[in-house]
Structure 1
Amino acid sequence: MMRWLGRFTASCLILVLSLSAVTASAEMNHTKKTDIQAHMTWVRAVPPVATITAAYMMLHNYSQQDDRLIGIESPVAGVVEMHASDMSDGVMKMVKLQEVVVPAKGFVMFEPAGNHIMLIDLKQPLKVGSMVPLTLVFEHHGRVDMQLVVSHPPEGQSNGDMEMQHSGHQMNH
């Protein structure tokens, strides 16, 4: 009887460990809805009369292959563009980007005074706390929809790119 009970207990233990291994393996191989994820997303709050603002985020590519961000859309703006800040002869200028590569297993930052997303010809005032729909268009991952909250810059950050040559939309395209 003890011998049978020992074998039964060992068999149950093996069964539980096997099921745990299968479950763990399934979780590791589980694919997300998309391997591109956005973190730390926000849209800069601007006065109600402003016609442009900027959006920021960290884009993380969890896949094994580089991907290119080739377009961005939002119903709150007439035009959405990717820009980079460029220091030239002591003057910070904005340069329009046609695409941004998000490296495999890596990330790209869209941040004040760096790469950023411009929302131009705003169709309505954006209130602090409201959500802005944004669709990122990738070469391989397709369309990725998200919602970004409108907020003021975190403490200690300047207005960065908004103080540069965005007034009157004088950028190098």
Structure 2
Amino acid sequence: MKTLLMSSLLSLALPAMAAGLEVRAPWAKATLPGQPVSGAYLELRADSAARLVKVDSPLAETVEIHEMKMDGGMMKMRALPALELPAGQTVTLKPGGLHIMLMQLKGPLKAGSKLPLTLHVEQDGKTRSVAVEADIRAMAAH
């Protein structure tokens, strides 16, 4: 029983791993009732060149990979068709930069609960799905 408990606790502390892809520190912003959008953030590291081509969540009608950047003195946001994941480099999705945009939410995202995400990654000639659970944090927490 002790061994099972310790291995369960240890698995919670480790980053999510899929063959050739590491997902670290996934989290999303909590929302207010009626708020239709939120963002999700994480770190991705692929051991060979890969591309994040799509993200799904059962809690949102539409999920897109987005980029925010300054353009002519104005902050602009746009959807990306895919996100390149260079081999051996960590790609960080964070507020004010690359992120996952959750639109047409099916209900509020409550702090302390989990947001299920499915990442669709092209790597080594194959597309596979990676299930991730992001912690939902209060809006002021980053």
Q: Normalising TM by the smaller chain, what interval? A: 0.7 to 0.9
1:44/1:103 CA distance change after superposition, 3 Å: same
Gaps of at least 5 residues in structure 2 are: 1-16
1:154/1:47 CA distance change after superposition, 3 Å: closer
Instruction: Write out the 4+ residue segments of structure 1 that deviate beyond 2 Å after TM superposition.
Output: 152-155
Q: Does structure 1 conserve the Cα–Cα contact (< 8 Å) formed by 2:59 and 2:105? A: yes
Q: CA RMSD in A?
A: 1.6
Q: Deviations over 1:87-143 (max 9, x none)?
A: 122211101101111111111110010000000000011111111110000112511
Q: Which has the larger radius of gyration?
A: 1
Q: Which has the higher helix share?
A: 1
1:158-173 map, 5 Å: none
For 1:145, the equivalent position in structure 2 comes to: 131
The higher relative CO (CA closer than 8 Å, separation ≥ 6) is in: 2
Q: Which has the higher strand share?
A: 2
* TM-score, scaled to structure 1: 0.67
For 1:112, the equivalent position in structure 2 comes to: 95
Distance in 1 between residues matched to 2:136 and 2:19, nearest whole Å? 24
1:53 aligned onto 2:38: yes
What SS class does the counterpart of residue 139 from structure 1 fall into?
strand
Q: Deviations over 1:12-40 (max 9, x none)?
A: xxxxxxxxxxxxxxxxxxxx642211111
Over the matched positions of the two proteins, sequence identity in percent amounts to 34
Gaps of at least 5 residues in structure 1 are: 1-31, 158-173
| Count of aligned positions | 123
